[in-house]
């Protein structure tokens, strides 16, 4: 009986933390076409499940992740050339943490040629927008579909 209750509680916890939207590559690409029309990059932050994503988010607060480093390499060229990018994934908070990490790695650089579209929850967009703007870029947001 105790094991059954524990399993039920664990299942409910996972169900509550599971992201509701699945911003796949095609969804991100379609939003990019609507926003930018011409050439742009798509950076999808995959989900590894609720528990793994929560662990990723916690560990990324100490230092930027490898995924943030990859994104930073793409964004760094916005100092000298036009960079249009759509960034999203099934876990909006994880996506926000990856972007925050990339911008932390690029601190002090002026990304004046950056146009970044964040696809995610509104509260995460409210956190990402000012960070992109303070780096010199233009920020666009699209809410995830439920």
Strand partners of residue 113 = none
Query: pLDDT: is 27 or 139 the higher one?
Result: 139
pLDDT, residue 62, reads 82
Average pLDDT, stretch 116-126? 95
Task: Tell me the pairing of strands 138-143 and 41-44.
Answer: unpaired
Beta strands in the chain (DSSP E): 41-44, 83-88, 114-120, 138-143
pTM score of the predicted model: 0.81
Question: Which pair of structure tokens corresponds to residue 10?
Answer: 């664990």
Quickly count: other Cβ atoms within 10 Å of residue 126's Cβ.
11
Give the list of residues 6+ apart from residue 17 with CB closer than 8 angstroms, or none. 50, 51, 54
Phi, psi of 28 (to 5 degrees): -65, -40
**86, 87, 88, 91 alpha-carbon torsion, rounded to 10°:** -170
pLDDT, residue 88, reads 95
**49-85: per-residue pLDDT in tens?**
999 999 999 999 888 999 999 999 999 999 999 999 9
Quickly count: other Cβ atoms within 10 Å of residue 34's Cβ.
11
């Amino acid at each position: 009986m105790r094991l059954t209750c524990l399993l039920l509680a664990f299942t409910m916890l996972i169900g509550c933390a599971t992201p509701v939207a699945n911003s796949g590559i095609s969804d991100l690409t379609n939003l990019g076409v609507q926003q930018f029309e011409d050439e742009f990059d798509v950076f999808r932050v995959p989900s590894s499940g609720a528990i793994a994503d929560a662990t990723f988010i916690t560990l990324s607060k100490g230092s930027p992740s490898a995924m943030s480093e990859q994104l930073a390499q793409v964004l760094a060229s916005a100092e000298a050339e036009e960079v249009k990018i759509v960034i999203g994934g099934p876990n909006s908070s994880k996506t926000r943490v990856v972007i925050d990490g990339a911008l932390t790695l690029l601190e002090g650089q002026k990304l004046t040629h950056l146009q970044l579209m964040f696809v995610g929850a509104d509260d995460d967009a409210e956190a990402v927008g000012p960070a992109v703007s303070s780096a010199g870029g233009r920020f666009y947001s699209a809410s995830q579909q439920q």
